[in-house]
Structure 1
Amino acid sequence: MRIAIFGTVGAGKSTVSTEISKRLGYEIFPEPIDDNPYFDDYYKDLKGTVFKMQIYMLAARSKQLRQAVSLKNIIFDRTILEDPIFMQVNHDLGNVNDVDYQTYNDFYENVIMENLKLPDERVKFDVVIYLKLPTKKAEERIAKRGRPSEQIVDSEYWEILNKRYEDFYKKHQNDFNFAVIDAETDDFDKEMDQVMEAIYKTDPSLRKA
């Protein structure tokens, strides 16, 4: 099964991915930020780095998807579907001009997505776990984990980002097998019960007797 974890910054994607991996023994394809040369400066200078950052992320995630073609049981800690959301937010806020925004979208649709087509279909996700929570809760978690580059971002950015995630879900909820999870709770066991139930519903054979 290919499991995608979907949700705004601070939703808990990496934590949930790790727990699913422990329970099912699946490999995690993490968000490619550790080797990203633009990440540390991204939030410090959005206008100067956002285009380069998002092109880098598209290339890195495309590589991950190519690697995943031969694998059956994997977890994607954020997916290539979400990259345009970040670009849209930065366009909304004036960090990306109209020309760069259109160039990015053309590249995404006509190069990235076209090249990810397989002989029969695109790389698909069997279930997309949407970790949904209010922006305020996401901001609390962002503050708690303390990544320096994220602490300088104002609330407007996080608010618009979360809204754009919800917009994406509403637009594409019939295009993918979404499972909406209440990620606001501080009861992680309860949250994981929801997550695993969604996975078992998609593939009942994974449920242990």
Structure 2
Amino acid sequence: MAGMIGTGKTTFAELISESLGSQVFYESVGDNPILPDYYVNPERWAFPLQIYFLNTRFKTIRQAMSDQHHVLDRSLYEDLIFAELNYEAGNMTKLEFETYVDLLETLMNEISSSPKQRPDLLIYLDSDLDTALNRIKNRGREYEQIENHPELLEYYKTLHGKYKDWIQNYTKTPVLIIESKKYNVHNKQDAEKVLTLVREKLYSLEPLTV
């Protein structure tokens, strides 16, 4: 799965995983020891946070390789979006950003070296900004709330734009783009529509070979 904060990645991932009879590998958010501090002081915590996410996402990919049907609720490929945003905002130094990019490229090369290590499909959840903001508000994580941290509104606007640019240029794997606002996956009919889109896309792909 891929998409901006608040597009519903975890909810969609759980639906798809249940349909495939597989496991969801979750992004480390609720148990992330750095994330709350990052929202309070991004200049201090941006680089450690990016390294933490990079490390945990790579470990997750290695775990998910145990079965071809596992679902990850966020991809490693979009990680650079957040690092670029932090660097451009002055939260990471040039040296920190270059160190991060070098490590990311090393890990990406290892993932790309074997077809079995690549995802069969990247499902990108698209969303307008207002919908994403409403979902962020409704899930209630204090450190994500604009009411408590007004500066986050500009952050979310910039992030939304970066995701739009990123998916237009993404070429690492096959892609299925789903407009998440169109589907309430808690509704049986909408859930089946989403699963039909996923099945049809997966069936259209050439099998990956070693």
Common fold: TM-score over 0.5: yes
Equivalent residues of 1:181, 1:194 under 8 A apart: no
Q: State the partner residue of 1:192.
A: 191
1:37 is paired with a residue of what secondary structure? Answer: coil
Distance in 2 (alpha carbons) for counterparts of 1:186 and 1:121 = 31
Instruction: Letter of the 1:175 partner, please give it.
Output: K
| Alignment map for 1:139-154 (pairs within 5 Å) | 139-151=133-145, 152=149, 154=152
Q: Structure 1 residues 183 and 191 mapped into 2: Cα distance closer, same or farther (>3 Å)?
A: farther
| Runs (5+) with no aligned partner, structure 1 | none
Distance in 2 (alpha carbons) for counterparts of 1:191 and 1:94 = 42
| Alignment map for 1:36-185 (pairs within 5 Å) | 36-110=32-106, 112-118=107-113, 120-121=114-115, 123-151=117-145, 152=149, 154-172=152-170, 174-185=171-182
Q: State the partner residue of 2:201.
A: 202
Q: Structure 1 residues 198 and 125 mapped into 2: Cα distance closer, same or farther (>3 Å)?
A: farther
Overall identity of the aligned pairs, in %:
31
Instruction: Letter of the 2:143 partner, please give it.
Output: S
Distance in 1 (alpha carbons) for counterparts of 2:131 and 2:74 = 19
How many residues were matched structurally?
198
Distance in 1 (alpha carbons) for counterparts of 2:116 and 2:183 = 36
Instruction: Letter of the 1:169 partner, please give it.
Output: I
Residues 69-112 of structure 1: per-residue CA shift (max 9 Å, x gap): 221210000011121111111122222222211121111113x2
Instruction: Letter of the 1:154 partner, please give it.
Output: L
Distance in 2 (alpha carbons) for counterparts of 1:202 and 1:185 = 18
Q: Structure 1 residues 42 and 52 mapped into 2: Cα distance closer, same or farther (>3 Å)?
A: same
Instruction: After the TM superposition, list the runs of 4 or more consecutive aligned residues in structure 1 that deviate by more than 4 angstroms.
Output: none
Instruction: Letter of the 1:145 partner, please give it.
Output: R
Q: Structure 1 residues 75 and 167 mapped into 2: Cα distance closer, same or farther (>3 Å)?
A: same
Equivalent residues of 1:30, 1:78 under 8 A apart: yes
TM-score (norm 1): 0.86
Deviates more, 1:174-183 or 1:71-80: 174-183
Equivalent residues of 1:181, 1:191 under 8 A apart: no
TM-score (norm 2): 0.85
Distance in 1 (alpha carbons) for counterparts of 2:92 and 2:126 = 26
Q: State the partner residue of 2:207.
A: none
